[in-house]
Amino acid sequence: MIRMGRRNFLTHGSKIMLLPLMESFAFDRAFAAEKSGAWVHMYFPMGCFGTDWTPPTGPALTIPAFLSPLKPIQSKLMWMGDVANNPGEGNGGHEMAAGPSIATYPQKRNGKYDKSYDTSADQLIATNFKSEYPNGAMVLSRPGFQAAADCCHAFEAGLNYISWQAQGKPSPKISDPVVAIKQFFGGDKVDSIAATLADNKSCLDYFTKEATALKAKISSQDSQRLEQYTEAVREYEKKVSNVQSNGGECRSDVKIQNDPNFFKHQNAMFDLMALAIQCSVSPAITYIMDFEFSFQSYGDVGVNDGFHNITHHTAGDTALIDMHRKINAHYASQFARLVSKVDKLTDIQGGSILDDIIISMGSGMADSNAHTRAGNIPFIMAGGKNLGLPQNKLYSPKVEMSQLMQTIMTYVGMPAATVANYGLKTGSLNEAFKKLG
């Protein structure tokens, strides 16, 4: 057994397995009281119809009817009513929506990536809190690579990445859930993962003996927590194994088109994120649920046409609008499922883990038909109660995406100087949020 920061680990040779926080181990109480928050963000493409995601202003948050999956978690929500994502110039409405969404540095017309985008918020958070976590940012994505239209190849990366290590340098992303669990939970490096996968062993096999011995040294409550944790890993590995075995659809080198396992892969990634949150493997997690300009069908929710095709609609295209709302409702349901699951997870003091982190979901454009980004972009947050984030509130004034990123960074405990120099330097909203009561 070794100790590293506020986490404990079981080791076997070069393998490392994180344990959940347990009260039986001594740790710095002052540190626990001052621990930083963490941030999890999911991106969905192609916005919405008109102002679909903009609730009516008023004293109470009123969730739009088609987003009813969010109602069970309404008490945990902070809803942004009028978000703008303006950085960018030149061609590429979709590229300018996703690429700079959490980097908020302008895309340049000359198409040179060294002058486009900038270090994204997740990477700044991961770098700042690297001594508190065993890994850097967890960057997840649906499989495949989305090609741009003929007009916009210069900014093709903007369709496929939201996380950036530096100006023009996208963060490597993981679209295979098996690779993710091995890298973030088993201590393996990406470049040697093939050999690990070929071995076809559960990472728990390395630690069965150590975990059994550990149970004799901890309290009954911690023993139960340890058993719940190991069972969660077992169940998760079963799920990703099932997805992986069905034709290899989860592999990042497979191009997915109308893939029947699209939803299974997405569910596995959400289960992975819940486990990563539970085990504090990373201070910042991002997930591109689907690409801008994607032609993925969503047959499981009754949408068999390609996603991009149905997003170009007018006020009279009720059939297409309904399809778009079904896809939006699907993402709302996935978000609510993750938030509910994390809310049920408890820390060593018996509180909800959700209260110490911020989980957000949003797009990079508002009205998909017109590719608007000047306001009404979908963006919601959940959790963060112990960090000071308001609950069950709507913030109606117009804000820039850059302000949202600065706000989130402030809540999770980033240094003020880093926050002030981020993106377009528009300033955080923390003081304004305090007035919401």
98-148: pLDDT as tens digits: 888 898 666 555 544 444 578 999 999 999 999 888 899 999 999 987 766
Which pLDDT score, from 0 to 100, does residue 228 have?
Answer: 73
Instruction: Give dist(CA 317, CA 364) in Å, integer.
Output: 23
Give mean pLDDT, residues 142-160.
Answer: 72
Which pLDDT score, from 0 to 100, does residue 305 have?
Answer: 93
Which pLDDT score, from 0 to 100, does residue 70 have?
Answer: 98
Which homologous superfamily is 36-175+261-434 in? Alkaline Phosphatase, subunit A (3.40.720.10)
Give mean pLDDT, residues 362-388.
Answer: 91
Give mean pLDDT, residues 397-421.
Answer: 93
Q: What is the average pLDDT value for the chain, to the nearest integer?
A: 78
Which pLDDT score, from 0 to 100, does residue 200 have?
Answer: 38
Which residue in 287, 254, 256 sits closest to 272, CA to CA? 287
Give mean pLDDT, residues 344-362.
Answer: 91
Every domain of the chain and the residues it spans: 1-28+180-251, 36-175+261-434
Place of tokens 């305090």: 434
Which pLDDT score, from 0 to 100, does residue 105 have?
Answer: 65
Which residue in 83, 12, 69 sits closest to 380, CA to CA? 83
User: What is the Cβ-side half-sphere exposure of residue 290, based on CA atoms within 13 angstroms?
Assistant: 27
Instruction: Name residue 148's beta-bridge partners.
Output: none
Instruction: Give dist(CA 349, CA 271) in Å, integer.
Output: 24
Q: What percent of the chain has pLDDT over 70?
A: 71
User: Model-level pTM greater than 0.85?
Assistant: no
Instruction: Name residue 138's beta-bridge partners.
Output: 285
Tell me the pLDDT tens digit for each residue of 249-301: 223 233 323 344 889 899 889 988 988 898 888 999 999 999 988 899 999 99
